[in-house]
Amino acid sequence: MKLKNVGIIGLGTYVPERIMTNFDFEKIIETSDEWIRSRTGIEERRFASEEQATSDLAAEAAKKAIKKSGISVEDIDMILLATTTPDYPIQSTACVVQELIGAVNAAALDVNAACSGFVYALTMAKGLISSGMNKNILVIGAEVLSKCVDMQDRNTCVLFGDGAAAAVVSEVEEGYGIISQFLGAEADTKGSLRTPAGGTRKPLSQEVLEERSNFLQMKGQDVFKFAVKALPKATIEALNGAGLEAEDINMVFPHQANSRIIDSASKRLGISMDKFYLNLNKYGNTSSASIGLALGEALEKGLVKKGDMIALTGFGAGLTYASMIIKWCY
């Protein structure tokens, strides 16, 4: 059986209105704009309002993606929502989004591969559609990290922001769409990037609240060492799968975590930084939303056109890493 060509036919993004700058952080913790910018490249990020949950951001991005795709919400038969910040511990956020957008004919589930989640979910969508099991899948990466980081931990709270990106994935014309993908993982036994408590390993308790272990914790140096190797490795594997060389890529959309990590990946891959799209200065690290947010912004600026060969590449907690090569179809 000949597998179908699968690609993105509509993409939408959403970020909350509230802007949290480095100078705003100077007022609440011991840090500085210069310290944050020089180490990360981040200048500001978006924070959800008190009333907004991950599903709210996801639904807004999803509505835009569906409108751009030209299909109706009733045509969506699966929702794959990549997130590390679900609305609830039990009840998938994808099911909440299903109700918010009226996707009455869709199955729904969450995917947790952290910052690699958008590429993981796109890979799952490709497999389901190419096999004929599904026709139109809504892939979403959405996070409200501002409610999951410790605002007393100056090493982590300045890094993260909130946002959402959604893609409608369907069959596309021959020669276009997702050309190849690579997914990888390394078990993180040291807790380099995780929320230690609040799950079944260490349930929520008064002790947990007092020690603040219900918030995200990160060992920055460990994550940095992993990322500078994982990002180029994933990209090279995806390029090999596509039978392409680095110079064949028109643009790279990396996970927006740290400008120094991206600069290192550029050097290791031999791809000019001019081809790497960066917007982490405006949004910070939005985990599973970041790659989609970058791609969506580039599309709005007209920087990606039909026939362009692009790479999506990321790394995250787990530890996970992933990359995908797409020949853009619109």
Would you give the DSSP letter of residue 87? Answer: S
Instruction: Please report the sign of the dihedral spanned by the C-alpha atoms of residue 113, residue 285, residue 256, residue 66.
Output: positive
Nearest to 77 by CA among 35, 133, 5: 133
Question: Cβ distance 293 to 13 under 8 Å?
Answer: yes
Would you give the DSSP letter of residue 273? Answer: G
Given 95, 115, 148, 329, which residue is catalytic? 115
How many C-alpha atoms does 45 have within 13 Å on its Cβ side?
A: 31
157 carries an active-site annotation = no
Separation of alpha carbons 92 and 96, rounded Å: 7
Question: Cβ distance 124 to 39 under 8 Å?
Answer: no
Angle at 15 between CA 264 and CA 180, to 5 degrees: 50
Question: Cβ distance 230 to 315 under 8 Å?
Answer: yes
3-state secondary structure of 213: coil
95 carries an active-site annotation = no
Given 95, 255, 258, 329, which residue is catalytic? 255
Reply yes or no: is the peptide bond before residue 319 cis, omega within 30 of 0: yes
Which residue spans within 192-327 are E strands per DSSP?
193-194, 217-218, 251-254, 309-316, 320-327
Given 5, 157, 285, 329, which residue is catalytic? 285
Separation of alpha carbons 164 and 251, rounded Å: 21
Dihedral angle of Cα 84, 89, 90, 96, to the nearest 10 degrees = -60
Which sequence positions are flagged as catalytic? Answer: 115, 255, 285
